[in-house]
């Protein structure tokens, strides 16, 4: 409420340097307190105990940069872009120059290194990026002479984009679909790119599956990975113990996962909101702990290896098939290429994901789908209209779990090896993040979020240690920027009048 | 040995120590949940940061040549409370305040994102290997004996219990008796109304996060002293267990959080003592599910009356 009142006044208020300095000083002080322990000192283990290493320069650099950055923002907010643009532009240029010298010298240029503010290379690049963004923003403001409080244009643009994405979905979706289908044959799609694509599509499928539970039925599930795990272990055990093939196992694995979903859901689905969230989280952890400790069946932390690969209607993808079995390449008269198997896997998961998508879109229009959305909006009202909340939620939970189980079987057959390590809470969090970041209930949003959250970090595997840091930061920033999700724009499921009829 | 009363007492002492950690962290969850209705998923990470600040403070003091244990403990306690409180404050300011009026799921995702961020932040800054600290408080006295089996109550455990009790009493008084506590309770009931009556809501919420972080940092210090080894990942499981404790006791209720923490600690210790260590977490979660099925608002929670 306070910011509604404060906003119109901000433009008319005269700029006070003192206030800006005070604000920047406070930010710098907080940064100092934050860095005092964790950044200033590094605990290192040496033979015979722990030693500490001081990093005073990083603290000084962090404090100074936070002070300047905050000061720059205060200037921008008070419509003084010129000094900010000049200062941060100069700073970016110097930083860029130093980094270039540093990199071109193969990391051995000591004077450039000592002039850079931080000891970590990636941190310096990050500082450069932030400073460039600040320069760009200040520069644009300077040139246009616009005011900072004229309303943030980006949010509106995204809203319009989200609305138009739905508007042109009829054209965009076929294009995307064709792109997805011809993707493996594009010139740049080598083995690594294909592997990433398979991973992304797996998460798209998981996102669409979880979307049934979270987006449609409004049940917050923090343990979705449990069903993924049940599907994966169901297939792995059936395949390695009884020698049943992937395609026969698939429905069974889905049924097992759905059963697990119903078994969990039965007692807990009368809980609401956060209670349900914590119980599902607990259930996810329980499944993982059981997988970890039930040696006789799951082989504990060592996992299950040697899981058979899927076959193309009984034709395996191997160079020299066993006696009496024809392999894929000889049947079609092709020369053997290891990438064939990857392409086949890509199509399998693409088909599975598309089935999930179509299923979701269609079930939304059935009575049960309508009941899910009604329950999400108002449980009490739907109950009084004769919807049985428990059974309706159970179907959502079971069906969502089933798709998780399918994806799990695929995961097992793709990896050839599974262990409880793959089914930690972080996976559930990632899948939920994909659903929420994409914009709840938006099918295209899930694809966009999966590409952003899974695809991009995979491309930058070299920055291994910074990957998860950036992942966490991205989740926070996207949510602050677009609290309803990237492509959140919900059309009413049913209209009383046809679209446009009311406008005239 | 397994059937004796002495064995039970020994396990119970362990359970109470563990329960002190869970209880202190759980209060942070319950305060935040009460006031803004969100699961502060990153609270476990604040606990972990508290443990790291403590180990750094111990090592720094050791380097400065300060070895008199009571003074060192006091200084470390003050340092970890203050520095971790800044993390709690910053967390709220950076990640949660911009989302105050957003859908609740958005805040939950931000919290999970913050949790991932803080874990990796500490891992990057301090390394992934676990950090062992040699015992700071040693010794104890014998309270029972059965043949060769001696039950001791160590000075460390006495210190932990006293510290926890003092903190809980202080915080109960702060919430119940001071004007800050009244403001917190008024924000809990109706934030807009409190704002109209002159309560600075933003400040109150910030202070709630600071209080939660202070308690969690003490829990981190206790964890470090009791187990002697920490790594960047300890916040996750402790956070989940503490949240379970808060829900078990009735989320939003401070005495409930303490009771829930104690119960989860006891269940875990006794389960590990009598059954299998591997399934202690399963036991804790199963108890949670059972309690929620039969008493959905937790042990000390008041039921929400649903109005249409």
- Examine residue B307 and state whether it is found in any structural domain, yes or no: no
CA distance B102 to chain A (A): 6
Cross-chain Cβ contact B240/A286 below 8 Å: no
User: Residues A304, A418: contact at Cβ < 8 Å?
Assistant: yes
Cross-chain Cβ contact B251/A274 below 8 Å: yes
Number of domains in chain B: 1
Q: Which two tokens stand for residue B106?
A: 């958005």
Mean pLDDT of B158-162: 92
Residue A312, number of CB atoms within 10 A of its CB: 16
pLDDT for the residue numbered A186: 80
Percent helix, strand and coil across chain B, each to the nearest 5: 75, 5, 20
CA distance A129 to chain B (A): 19
**Which candidate in B45, B102, B117, B243 is best for mutational testing of the A interface (most A CBs within 10 A)?**
B117
- Examine residue B188 and state whether it is found in any structural domain, yes or no: yes
Percent of chain A clearing pLDDT 90 (strictly above): 15
Q: Which two tokens stand for residue A8?
A: 């119109």
- Examine residue B244 and state whether it is found in any structural domain, yes or no: yes
Of B129 and A260, the structure prediction assigns the larger pLDDT to: A260
CA distance A2 to chain B (A): 10
Question: A5 pLDDT exceeds 50?
Answer: no
Nearest to B247 among A36, A278, A437 (CB): A278
C-alpha B167/C-alpha B160 separation (Å) is 11
Query: In this predicted structure, which of A26-40, B138-152, B223-237 has the lowest mean pLDDT?
Result: B138-152
Cross-chain Cβ contact B112/A429 below 8 Å: yes
Q: Is A5 on the interface with B (CB under 8 A)?
A: no
Residues of B in contact with A120 (CB under 8 A): 124
Q: Is A39 on the interface with B (CB under 8 A)?
A: yes
Cross-chain Cβ contact B113/A472 below 8 Å: yes
Q: What is the DSSP string of B206-267?
A: HHHHHHHHHHHHHHHHHHHHHH-EE-TTHHHHHHHHHHHHHHHH-TT-HHHHHHHHHHHHHH
Mean pLDDT of B154-159: 90
What kind and span of H or E run contains B1?
none
- Examine residue B299 and state whether it is found in any structural domain, yes or no: no
Residue of chain B whose alpha carbon sits nearest to that of A122: B124
CA distance A433 to chain B (A): 6
Cross-chain Cβ contact A472/B244 below 8 Å: no
Mean pLDDT of all residues in chain B? 87
Give A179-217 pLDDT, tens digit per residue.
888 888 887 778 888 888 999 999 999 999 999 898 888
Q: Which two tokens stand for residue B53?
A: 């600040």
Give A15-52 pLDDT, tens digit per residue.
678 888 888 899 999 998 888 888 888 888 777 777 88
> For residue A315, what are the β-bridge partners?
A312
In this complex, how many residue pairs, one in chain A and one in chain B, have their CB atoms less than 8 Å apart?
184
User: Residues A99, A49: contact at Cβ < 8 Å?
Assistant: no
Question: A11 pLDDT exceeds 70?
Answer: no
pLDDT for the residue numbered A4: 45
Domain harbouring B38, CATH code: 1.10.3470
- Examine residue B300 and state whether it is found in any structural domain, yes or no: no
Q: What is the DSSP string of A360-419?
A: HHHHTTSHHHHHHHHHHH-HHHHHHTT--HHHHHHHHHHHHHHHHHHHHHHHHHHHSEE-
Of A431 and B251, the structure prediction assigns the larger pLDDT to: A431
Domain residues for the domain of B132 are: 5-294
Residue of chain A whose alpha carbon sits nearest to that of B250: A275
Largest CA distance in chain A: 87
DSSP state of B127: -
Sequence-distant (6+) residues with CB within 8 A of B228 are B132, B133, B134, B135
- Examine residue B303 and state whether it is found in any structural domain, yes or no: no
Report ipTM for this prediction. Answer: 0.85
Burial of A18 (0-12, 13-18, 19+ CB in 10 A): exposed
Helix B5-36 and helix B234-249, axial crossing angle in degrees, nearest 10:
80
pLDDT for the residue numbered A166: 64
- Examine residue B285 and state whether it is found in any structural domain, yes or no: yes
Please give the C-alpha separations between residue A314 and each of A246, A309, A318, A414, A431, in angstroms, as whole numbers: 10, 11, 12, 17, 33
Burial of B174 (0-12, 13-18, 19+ CB in 10 A): middle
Confidence band for B307, pLDDT divided at 50, 70 and 90: low
Question: B217 pLDDT exceeds 90?
Answer: yes
């Amino acid at each position: 409420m306070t910011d509604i009142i404060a906003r119109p006044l901000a433009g008319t208020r005269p700029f006070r340097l003192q206030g800006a300095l005070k604000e920047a000083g406070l930010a710098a002080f907080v940064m100092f307190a934050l860095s005092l322990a964790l950044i200033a000192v590094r605990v290192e283990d040496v033979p015979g105990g722990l030693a500490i290493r001081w990093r005073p320069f990083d603290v000084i650099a962090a404090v100074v940069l936070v002070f300047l950055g905050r000061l720059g923002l205060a200037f921008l907010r008070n419509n003084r872009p010129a000094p900010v643009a000049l200062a941060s532009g100069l700073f970016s240029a110097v930083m860029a120059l130093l980094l270039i010298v540093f990199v071109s010298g193969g990391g051995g240029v000591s004077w450039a290194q000592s002039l850079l503010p931080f000891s970590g290379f990636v941190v310096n690049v990050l500082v450069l990026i932030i400073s460039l963004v600040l320069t760009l923003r200040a520069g644009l403001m300077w040139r246009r002479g616009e005011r900072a409080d004229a309303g943030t244009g980006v949010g509106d643009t995204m809203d319009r984009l989200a609305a138009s994405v739905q508007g042109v979905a009829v054209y965009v979706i076929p294009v995307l679909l064709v792109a997805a289908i011809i993707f493996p044959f594009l010139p740049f799609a080598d083995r690594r790119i294909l592997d990433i694509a398979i991973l992304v599509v797996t998460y798209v499928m998981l996102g669409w599956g979880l979307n049934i539970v979270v987006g449609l039925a409004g049940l917050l599930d923090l343990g979705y990975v449990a069903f993924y795990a049940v599907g994966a272990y169901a297939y792995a055990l059936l395949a390695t113990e009884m020698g049943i093939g992937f395609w026969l196992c698939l429905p069974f694995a889905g049924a097992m996962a759905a059963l697990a979903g119903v078994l969990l859901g039965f007692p807990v689905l009368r809980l609401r909101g956060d209670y349900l969230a914590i119980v599902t989280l607990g259930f996810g952890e329980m499944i993982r702990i059981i997988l970890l400790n039930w040696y006789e069946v799951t082989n504990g932390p060592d996992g299950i290896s040697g899981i058979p690969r899927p076959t193309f209607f009984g034709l395996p993808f191997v160079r020299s098939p066993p006696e009496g079995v024809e392999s894929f390449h000889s049947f079609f008269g092709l020369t053997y290429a290891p990438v064939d198997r990857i392409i086949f896997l890509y199509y399998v998961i693409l088909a599975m994901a598309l089935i999930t998508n179509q299923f979701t879109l269609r079930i939304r229009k059935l009575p049960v789908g309508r009941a899910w959305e009604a329950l999400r909006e108002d449980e009490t009202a739907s109950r009084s209209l004769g919807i049985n909340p428990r059974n309706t939620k159970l179907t959502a939970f079971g069906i969502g779990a089933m798709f998780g189980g399918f994806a799990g079987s695929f995961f097992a057959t793709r990896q050839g090896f599974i262990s409880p390590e793959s089914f930690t809470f972080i996976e559930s969090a990632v899948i939920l993040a994909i659903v929420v970041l994409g914009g709840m209930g938006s099918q295209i949003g899930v694809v966009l979020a999966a590409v952003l959250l899974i695809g991009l970090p995979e491309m930058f595997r070299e920055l291994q240690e910074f990957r998860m840091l950036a992942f966490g930061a991205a989740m926070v920033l996207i949510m602050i920027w677009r609290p309803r999700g990237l492509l959140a724009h919900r059309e009413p499921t049913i209209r009383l009048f046809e679209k446009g009829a009311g406008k005239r | 040995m397994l059937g004796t009363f002495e064995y039970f007492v020994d396990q119970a002492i362990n359970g109470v120590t563990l329960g002190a950690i869970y209880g202190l962290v759980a209060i942070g969850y319950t305060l935040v949940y009460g006031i803004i209705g969100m699961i502060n998923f990153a609270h476990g990470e604040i606990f972990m940061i508290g443990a790291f600040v403590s180990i750094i403070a111990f090592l720094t003091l050791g380097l400065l040549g300060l070895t008199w244990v009571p003074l060192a403990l006091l200084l470390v306690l003050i340092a970890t409370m203050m520095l971790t409180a800044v993390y709690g404050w910053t967390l709220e300011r950076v990640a949660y305040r911009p989302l105050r009026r957003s859908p609740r799921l958005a805040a939950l995702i931000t919290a999970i994102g913050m949790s991932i961020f803080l874990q990796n932040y500490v891992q990057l800054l301090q390394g992934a290997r676990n950090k062992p600290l040699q015992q700071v408080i040693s010794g104890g006295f014998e309270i029972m004996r059965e043949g060769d089996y001696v039950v001791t109550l160590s000075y460390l455990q006495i210190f932990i219990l006293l510290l926890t009790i003092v903190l809980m009493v202080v915080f109960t008084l702060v919430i119940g008796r001071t004007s800050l506590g009244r403001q917190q309770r008024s924000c809990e009931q109706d934030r807009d109304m409190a704002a109209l009556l002159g309560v600075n809501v933003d400040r109150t919420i910030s202070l709630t996060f600071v209080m939660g972080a202070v308690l969690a940092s003490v829990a981190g210090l206790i964890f470090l002293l009791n187990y002697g080894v920490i790594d960047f990942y300890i916040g996750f499981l402790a956070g989940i267990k503490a949240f379970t404790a808060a829900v078990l006791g009735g989320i939003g209720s401070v005495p409930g959080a303490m009771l829930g923490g104690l119960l989860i600690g006891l269940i875990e210790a006794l389960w590990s003592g009598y059954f299998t260590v591997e399934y202690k977490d399963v036991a804790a979660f199963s108890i949670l599910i059972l309690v929620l099925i039969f008493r959905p608002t937790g042990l000390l929670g008041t039921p929400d009356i649903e109005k249409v």
